Structure 1
Amino acid sequence: MSDDAGPDPEAVAAAVLTHPSVLRLDGGPFGSIASYLPGARVQGVRLGDPVEIAVVVALGMPFPEIAEGIAARVRAVLGDEARAVDVTVADVGAVGTEVVAGR
């Protein structure tokens, strides 16, 4: 996506997924955290002020540390060091297992 079209939610999603504790993106409560593109929906990323991210994470690292790592990745993609990023841990799972929300 070009700069004049605004931030790219797919690029933000890809950056979030590079965090070692993130198993997958999630729509958050009621599936409301998402961005919409022509013919596509990017679940787990809503660009705004603040940026909202929802993820399913693996056990092991403290949640505040995970959230800060995710926020740093988002800010790097958006090029805005001061931007507020809210991270929701929608569920917790184990690496290598299928995660089912709500269980």
Structure 2
Amino acid sequence: MPPPTDDVATAARAVAAAVAAHPGVVRLDGGPWGTVASHLPGRARVDGVRLGVGAEPVEIAVVVRLGIPLPQLADELAAAVRAVLGPVPVDVTFSDVVSAVAAAPTP
């Protein structure tokens, strides 16, 4: 039985915040064709986070900065998801990688 909708919305937003807070993450991304997303009531959605149902993994898709080896970054992002949701399987998709210069915010 899926969790109540309010719990899904709260969990998806909390996962998105935890992942986006990582210094190697530029932004969350919907992944190929926008399929990595949690659809919430109304027209709301959280792009870059898809909460699994049952034994399905949580999926996250991100655009990242160069600098951290991708396997290490995947492990760190999965740990951030687990810090929010507990011991769940996590799939990480790197939608794009940008240079540190390109990822820096413009003044």
Same fold flag (TM > 0.5): yes
> In structure 2, the residue corresponding to 1:97 is in which secondary structure?
helix
Q: Is residue 72 of structure 1 aligned with residue 79 of structure 2?
A: yes
C-alpha distance in 2 between matches for 1:45 and 1:96? 26
Q: Report the TM-score, using the length of structure 2 for normalisation.
A: 0.80
Shift of residue 96 of structure 1? 5.5
Equivalent residues in 2 for 1:30-69 (5 A)?
Answer: 30-39=33-42, 40-48=44-52, 49-69=56-76
Aligned residues: 94
* Greater share of residues in helix: 2
**Which of the pair has more CA radius of gyration?**
2
- Counterpart of 1:15 in structure 2 is 18
Aligned-pair identity in percent equals 60
Residue 19 (structure 1) shift: 1.0
Residues in 2 aligned to 1:42 and 1:88: alpha-carbon distance in whole angstroms: 15
Q: Deviations over 1:7-32 (max 9, x none)?
A: 41000000001111000000111110
Query: 1:101 matched to which residue of 2?
Result: none
Instruction: Give the distance between the partners of 1:96 and 1:31, measured in 2 at CA.
Output: 26
